[in-house]
Amino acid sequence: MKKNLFAVIGILIACSAFGQKYESMEDVNRVVDLTLDSLDKAATARPVAGSTRKGSNPVLFLVGNSTMRTGTLGNGDNGQWGWGRFAHEYFDENKITVENQALGGTSSRTFYRRLWPDVKKGIRPGDWVVIELGHNDNGPFDSGRARATIKGISATDSLNVVIKETGEHETVYSYGEYLRRFVRETRALGAHPILMSLTPRHAYVDGQPGRVVRVDQTFGLWAKQIAEELNVPFVDLNDISALKYEKMSPWKFGYHFYLDNIHTSAFGARLNCRSAVDGLLSCTHPEVQPLKDMMTNIALPTTGVKREKRKPVLFITGDSTVKNEDRDSTNGMWGWGSQAATVFNTKKLTVINVAQAGRSCRTYLREGRWDKVVNDLQPGDFVTIQFGHNDIGSELSGGKARNEISGTADSSHVYRVQTKDEVRNEVVYTFGWYLRKMIDDVREKGATPILISLTPRNEWPDGVHIERRNDSYGKWYREVVALTGVEFVDLHNITADVMDAMGREEAKSCYIKDHTHTSLRGAQINAKSVAKGLKDNRSPLAKYLK
């Protein structure tokens, strides 16, 4: 009886030391993450610590929660990705390997107790350990997930609890104290710890539109304080990513998350990963330099356009109807972009045709071609956006996996994509969604987007008039125009009018090999149609026409 009484008294003293009653952080995320309840399943996906090591090369271990590695399997099967999934892309695998040891649902407390002992078994002298925890350090201390930590960085505060569901006894420490233990134990193994603040949530500060909520007074501050106390490299991931989000439209900020306001889509995960890399590159702590020396793919990919003073650049994007073989003037297939110099004054405007045959909006984006354009953009530039021929069909999850969902709704679906090269999970959006994204990206850089409808196909349903797709693509283009207010050149109908006037027989000379791809003559007609549309619109790009 006395023993039980003393235990109760001890708990009461711990809970109210010096009259203080500990309160945990509020769970502002409101997200139920059951990953930690599936440790056995997660173990089949998380690598054995140190197993990726090549010879005597170091390993970069990533310690974190679902914002670093989402879901039990971490494979994006729910459309969510953690930034750790992409970290290996920035390191030379011949010098260092990256192991994502993060697990969704963990706090600094639960990771330290349940996962850290196994991670330590794989750490060797010269390794690196990035620690980014805190999103789940909230809720009750002694029930449910029982993962909350004491606020702040106190090294002396502690709380003895009994987990209600299991009867397990545990001493809970402050958030900062758990970080100290990660750091000290990493160093004891001869490795290098790096602390990072949390990834941002999808939330703006009340009353401050466009201002992203920070953790600079809580977890971000506490992690920075521990880093300064122990002389550890610190990367303010929260602020670096938040600054990028604040340059975006609210719509774009939103699609960097998926299903909730904490877990990122592939877009958000890649952004956070790049922010982590940017933070490491700018970190002046001497311990980080050897890690910087092992980085790769640091420069942002670009189109390689050569700029001239006082000359804006026109980037022409699209598929094979815009850029094709563009060689044989007699029997070859040509895209209208190859004939841009016949309608644009290249003494005043630099024109670069970055279209690619066989691409849809989705694959143009997935292959990184669109990112190259965006990275090159400067205020005053122009971008024409013309897709459609490869966008709608049955290749949503198989074949070339290039088709999108029909329409323009702001919706999506996760597909298990199986191609001859790989099997992966991918979020696929509507045709109109991709167009909206491209338009929004261009505007964000201060450039001018111009939407161009797809070229007409050499199909004559009634024998007199060429096929028009005004009830599908035409309708979707116009819906995007209504949503965005983007300039629109209806090349489809402008060229169709020309073809109708020519007649079916003469129009045959404008196509080659099939009903879609144009001959040199057809490409030149389409280029003239673009010019006509720009003039009719009184477009700012029209002043660069011949």
pLDDT digits (tens, 9 = 90+) for 507-520: 999 999 999 999 99
pTM of the model: 0.93
Report the pLDDT value the prediction gives residue 144, as an integer from 0 to 100. 85
- Band of residue 14 on the pLDDT scale cut at 50, 70, 90: very low
228 or 145, greater pLDDT: 228
Portion of the chain with pLDDT greater than 70, in percent = 93
Report the pLDDT value the prediction gives residue 370, as an integer from 0 to 100. 98
Average pLDDT value over all residues in the chain: 93
User: Per mean pLDDT, which range of 12-16, 183-187, 331-335 is the poorest?
Assistant: 12-16
Report the pLDDT value the prediction gives residue 509, as an integer from 0 to 100. 97
**11, pLDDT greater than 60:** no
Q: In this structure, what token pair is assigned to residue 317?
A: 């994007």
Chain position carrying tokens 């079916």: 504
Report the pLDDT value the prediction gives residue 24, as an integer from 0 to 100. 76
- Band of residue 28 on the pLDDT scale cut at 50, 70, 90: low
User: Per mean pLDDT, which range of 21-30, 409-418, 525-534 is the poorest?
Assistant: 21-30
Q: Give the mean model confidence (pLDDT) for residues 446-467.
A: 97
Task: State how beta strands 158-162 and 382-386 pair.
Answer: unpaired
How far is the CA of 406 from the CAs of 239, 242, 362, 476, 524, in angstroms?
37, 33, 12, 9, 30
84 or 421, greater pLDDT: 84
**225, pLDDT greater than 80:** yes
Q: Give the mean model confidence (pLDDT) for residues 317-340.
A: 97
Residue 488: how many CB atoms within 10 A of its CB?
A: 19
Axis crossing angle, helix 431-444 with helix 369-376, rounded to the nearest 10: 20
Chain position carrying tokens 């009719």: 536
Q: Give the mean model confidence (pLDDT) for residues 28-47.
A: 65
Q: Provide the residue ranges of all domains of the chain, joining segments of one domain with +.
A: 20-292, 313-544
User: Per mean pLDDT, which range of 163-167, 438-442, 493-497 is the poorest?
Assistant: 163-167
Residue 37: how many CB atoms within 10 A of its CB?
A: 12
CA–CA separation, 111 vs 518, rounded Å?
60
Report the pLDDT value the prediction gives residue 145, as an integer from 0 to 100. 84
Domain 20-292: what homologous superfamily?
Answer: SGNH hydrolase (3.40.50.1110)
Confirm whether 20-292 and 313-544 share one CATH topology: yes
**2, pLDDT greater than 70:** no
Most distant pair of Cα atoms in the chain: their distance:
104
CA–CA separation, 34 vs 31, rounded Å?
10
403 within 8 A of 392, measured Cβ to Cβ = yes
CATH topology of domain 313-544: Rossmann fold (3.40.50)
Distance of CA 214 to the CA centre of its chain: 20
Q: Please report the beta strands in 101-203, taking only residues with DSSP state E, as ranges in sequence order.
A: 128-132, 158-162, 169-173, 192-196
Give the residue numbers annotated as catalytic, written as ranges.
320, 514, 517
- Band of residue 23 on the pLDDT scale cut at 50, 70, 90: confident
Q: In this structure, what token pair is assigned to residue 59?
A: 């390993």
Query: Which residue type sits at 39?
Result: L
CA–CA separation, 172 vs 157, rounded Å?
9
DSSP letters for 471-504: TTHHHHHHHHHHHH--EEE-HHHHHHHHHHHH-H
Q: Give the mean model confidence (pLDDT) for residues 259-275.
A: 97
How far is the CA of 211 from the CAs of 204, 208, 425, in angstroms?
5, 6, 32
Q: Give the mean model confidence (pLDDT) for residues 317-339.
A: 97
Q: What is the pLDDT of residues 103-153, one digit of tens each?
A: 988 999 999 999 999 999 999 999 999 999 999 999 999 998 899 999 999
Chain position carrying tokens 């309608």: 343
CA–CA separation, 465 vs 451, rounded Å?
25
H-state helical runs in 283-333: 289-292
Chain position carrying tokens 């670009």: 302
72 within 8 A of 265, measured Cβ to Cβ = no
Classify residue 361 by burial, with Cβ atoms within 10 Å: 0-12, 13-18, 19+.
buried
CA–CA separation, 250 vs 264, rounded Å?
15
**245, pLDDT greater than 70:** yes
Report the pLDDT value the prediction gives residue 73, as an integer from 0 to 100. 77
CA–CA separation, 439 vs 477, rounded Å?
12
